[in-house]
Amino acid sequence: MKVYLMTDLEGVAGVLDVANWCYSNSQYYDIAKKLLTDEVNAAIDGFFAAGADEVVVQDGHGSGAIDITLLDKRATLQNKWDGPYPFGLDESYDVMAWVGQHPKSGTEYGHLCHTGSMAVLDSTINNISVGEYGVHVFLGQIFNVTPIFASGCRAFTKEAKNLVKGIKTIAVKKGTTSGTGDECTAEEYEVRNIAAVHLKHQKACKLIRKGAKKALKRYISKPNSFNSVKIYPPYSRTLTIRATPSTPQQTITKDNFNDLVLLLNS
Right CATH for 2-103+129-181+195-233 from 3.40.220.10, 3.40.50.170, 3.40.50.10780, 1.10.10.10 = 3.40.50.10780
Given a cut of 90, whether residue 63 has pLDDT beyond it is no
Classify residue 216 as exposed, middle or buried by CB count within 10 Å of its CB (0-12, 13-18, 19+). buried
Q: Residue 79's pLDDT is what?
A: 78
Q: Is 7 helix (H, G, I), strand (E, B) or coil?
A: strand
Q: Residue 49's pLDDT is what?
A: 98
Q: Residue 80's pLDDT is what?
A: 63
Q: Residue 245's pLDDT is what?
A: 87
CB 49 within 8 A of CB 26: no
Given a cut of 70, whether residue 82 has pLDDT beyond it is no
Q: What percent of the chain clears pLDDT 70, i.e. is strictly above it?
A: 98
Distance CA(160)–CA(140), nearest Å, equals 14
Q: Residue 62's pLDDT is what?
A: 86
Nearest CA-CA partner of 227 in 147, 127, 143 = 147
- Average pLDDT on 246-266 reads 95
Q: Residue 115's pLDDT is what?
A: 97
Given a cut of 80, whether residue 81 has pLDDT beyond it is no
Q: What percent of the chain clears pLDDT 90, i.e. is strictly above it?
A: 95
Distance CA(32)–CA(20), nearest Å, equals 10
Confidence grade of residue 83 (pLDDT, cut at 50, 70, 90): low
pLDDT tens, position by position, 154-213: 999 999 999 999 999 999 999 999 999 999 999 999 999 999 999 999 999 999 999 999
Distance CA(113)–CA(156), nearest Å, equals 9
- Average pLDDT on 100-109 reads 98
Q: Residue 264's pLDDT is what?
A: 96
H helix count then E strand count, the chain: 7, 13
- Average pLDDT on 260-265 reads 96
Amino acid at 56: V
pLDDT tens, position by position, 121-143: 999 999 999 999 999 999 999 99
Buried b vs exposed e over 83-110: b needs ≥16 C-beta within 10 Å? eebbbebeeebbbbbbbbbbbbbbbebb
For the chain, the domains span 2-103+129-181+195-233
